[in-house]
């Protein structure tokens, strides 16, 4: 159904709208064009707008620079943190390196609160490091030069400095090396201090007694309660009580009780080495004297070059292995001699 009333209403509004538009147009026409602003005013407005734009750019640049600076500082802070983490905590000098570790052994480094397992790999030992061997543990360290420090089971020591060892309890062995050191090695105990005079020696705390065995060279012992030092020579054992009383006895350099030391000797590289050099090492590590049956045999031994490996073997075990590849044999005498002779045909 068509609504005539609504149609007539919409038709009556149209002339009014058109009339309003015509009146607005006439008014704008009568006003004419707006006069242009003076050039000076235009320049002032442009300069103000340009200055505001430049200020905005500078502010934005400053914010970017500040952000970049903050990022750089943050990056540097992270870098410094990483460098701090990479720098070792241990500033003390390195005085030894870990060699052979048998059984269970522990290490307490300066600044640490807990003992850690000691591994049998070349780890640096800094001054002030404590070492502890358990009931089944033994340890060998390489000291300055070609010196060696070896710990028997149930021992606690502090490597105080390059040539200063503090023995709290147990048994240790020091081989100062074939060449005389510029400074003697010293072992400090609650009984006093033992110093080497170019030697191999053992120091042990046994109950209320300090025991010193000299395998090669000589030692000097200064008791905490005595002014005059005691001296011990190769083949001697000195037992010192807390009172300062000392007892001396003979102790062979090749006695079976040195065997624990020999298991920590660490076989040197033998590939391409002289047989004579190897035999000299075996003699030194076993406390024996090297001899040849004739001068001719010794001359021949000097020309022999070894090949192979004797790793993880004791000195006498290594001697068995290496001589089996040559034309020589050896015999151990009751007098502590290793006698080298030519291998007989058929042997």
Q: What's the rounded mean pLDDT across residues 71-91?
A: 46
Judge if 241 and 319 occupy the same domain. Answer: no
In this structure, are 218 and 292 located in the same domain?
Answer: no
**Phi-psi label, residue 294: left if phi above 0, alpha if psi -120 to 50, beta otherwise:** beta
Q: Poorest-confidence range of 46-50, 146-150, 213-217, 328-332?
A: 46-50
Reported pTM: 0.73
Whether 66 has a pLDDT exceeding 50, the answer reads no
> Is there a contact between 237 and 213 (Cβ–Cβ < 8 Å)?
yes
Lowest pLDDT segment from 25-39, 69-83, 204-218, 219-233: 69-83
Does 270 lie in the same domain as 126? no
- What pLDDT is recorded for position 198? 84
Domain boundary among 258, 282, 305: 258
> Structurally, how many domains does the chain consist of?
2
At residue 146, the pLDDT reads 78
Least confident window among 137-146, 177-186, 236-245 = 177-186
pLDDT of residue 180: 58
Burial class (CB in 10 A: 0-12, 13-18, 19+), 90: middle
**Whether residues 122 and 202 fall in one domain:** yes
What pLDDT, on a 0 to 100 scale, did the predictor assign at position 51? Answer: 54
Sign of CA dihedral 251, 255, 259, 262: positive
Cα 202 to chain center, whole Å? 27
Domain final position from 229, 258, 287? 258
What count of Cα atoms within 13 Å lies in the side-chain half-sphere of residue 281? 21
Do 99 and 246 reside in the same domain of the chain? yes
* Range name among 13-22, 168-177, 256-265 with the lowest pLDDT average: 13-22
* Residue 172: CATH number of its domain: 2.60.120.1440
Mean pLDDT, the chain, as a whole number?
81
In the predicted model, is pLDDT for residue 117 greater than 60? Answer: yes
Q: What is the CATH number of the domain that holds 296?
A: 3.55.50.10
CA dist 110 and 131 (Å) reads 11
Statement to judge: residues 269 and 254 lie in one domain: no
User: Is 57 part of a structural domain of the chain?
Assistant: no
Shared-domain flag, residues 105 and 216: yes
Q: Identify the residue with better confidence: 152 or 54.
A: 152
Q: What is the pLDDT of residues 301-318, one digit of tens each?
A: 999 999 999 888 999 999
For residue 102, pLDDT over 70 is answered with yes
Mean pLDDT, range 275-282, rounded to an integer:
96
Sheet holding 289-292, edge to edge: 289-292, 337-342, 328-332
Task: Indicate if the pLDDT at residue 118 is higher than 80.
Answer: yes
CA gyration radius for the chain? Answer: 46
Look at residue 71 and tell me whether its pLDDT is greater than 90. Answer: no
**Residue 241 resides in a domain:** yes
**Residue 192, in any domain of the structure:** yes
Q: What is the mean pLDDT of residues 247-251?
A: 96
Domain end call among 194, 229, 258: 258
For residues 106 and 183, membership in a common domain is answered with yes
242 and 310 inside one domain = no
> Of 133, 198, 139, which Cα lies nearest the Cα of 163?
198
Residues 213 and 308 in one domain: no
| Domain membership flag for residue 287 | yes
- Residues 276, 328, single domain; the answer is yes
Which pLDDT does position 178 carry in this prediction?
A: 72
145 assigned to some structural domain: yes
Domain of 146 in residue numbering reads as: 95-258
pLDDT band at 182 (very low <50, low <70, confident <90, very high): low
Domain annotation covers residue 129: yes
Q: What is the pLDDT at residue 46?
A: 45
Q: Is residue 52 part of a domain?
A: no
25: in domain: no
Same domain, 167 and 115: yes
């Amino acid at each position: 159904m068509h609504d005539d009333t609504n149609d007539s209403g919409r038709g009556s509004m149209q002339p009014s709208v058109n009339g309003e538009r015509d009146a607005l147009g006439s008014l704008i026409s009568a006003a004419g064009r707006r006069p242009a602003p003076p050039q000076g005013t235009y320049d002032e407005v442009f300069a103000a707008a340009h200055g505001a734009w430049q200020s905005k750019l500078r502010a934005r640049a400053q914010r970017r620079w500040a952000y970049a600076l903050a990022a750089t500082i943050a990056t540097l802070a992270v870098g410094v943190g990483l460098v701090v983490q990479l720098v070792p905590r241990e500033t003390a000098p390195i005085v030894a390196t870990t060699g052979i570790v048998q059984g269970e052994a522990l290490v307490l480094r300066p600044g640490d609160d807990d003992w850690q397992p000691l591994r049998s790999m070349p780890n640096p030992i800094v001054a002030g490091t404590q070492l502890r061997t358990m009931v089944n543990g033994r340890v060998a360290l390489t000291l300055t030069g070609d010196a060696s420090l070896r710990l028997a089971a149930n021992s606690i020591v502090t490597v105080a400095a390059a040539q200063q060892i503090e023995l709290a309890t147990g048994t240790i062995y020091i081989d100062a090396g074939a060449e005389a050191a510029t400074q003697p090695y010293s072992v400090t105990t609650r009984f006093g201090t033992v110093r080497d005079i170019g030697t191999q020696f053992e120091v042990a705390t046994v109950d209320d007694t300090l025991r010193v065995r000299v395998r090669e060279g000589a030692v000097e012992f200064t008791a905490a309660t005595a002014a005059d030092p005691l001296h011990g020579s190769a083949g001697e054992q000195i037992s010192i009580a807390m009172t300062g009383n000392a007892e001396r006895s003979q102790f062979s350099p090749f006695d079976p009780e040195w065997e624990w030391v020999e298991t920590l000797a660490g076989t040197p590289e033998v590939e391409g080495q002289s047989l004579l050099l190897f035999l000299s090492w075996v003699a030194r590590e076993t406390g024996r004297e090297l001899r040849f049956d004739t001068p001719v045999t010794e001359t021949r031994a000097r020309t022999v070059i070894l090949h192979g490996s004797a790793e993880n073997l004791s000195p006498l075990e290594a001697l068995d292995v290496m001589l089996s590849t040559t034309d020589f044999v050896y015999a151990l005498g009751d007098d502590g001699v290793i006698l080298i002779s030519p291998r007989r045909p058929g042997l």
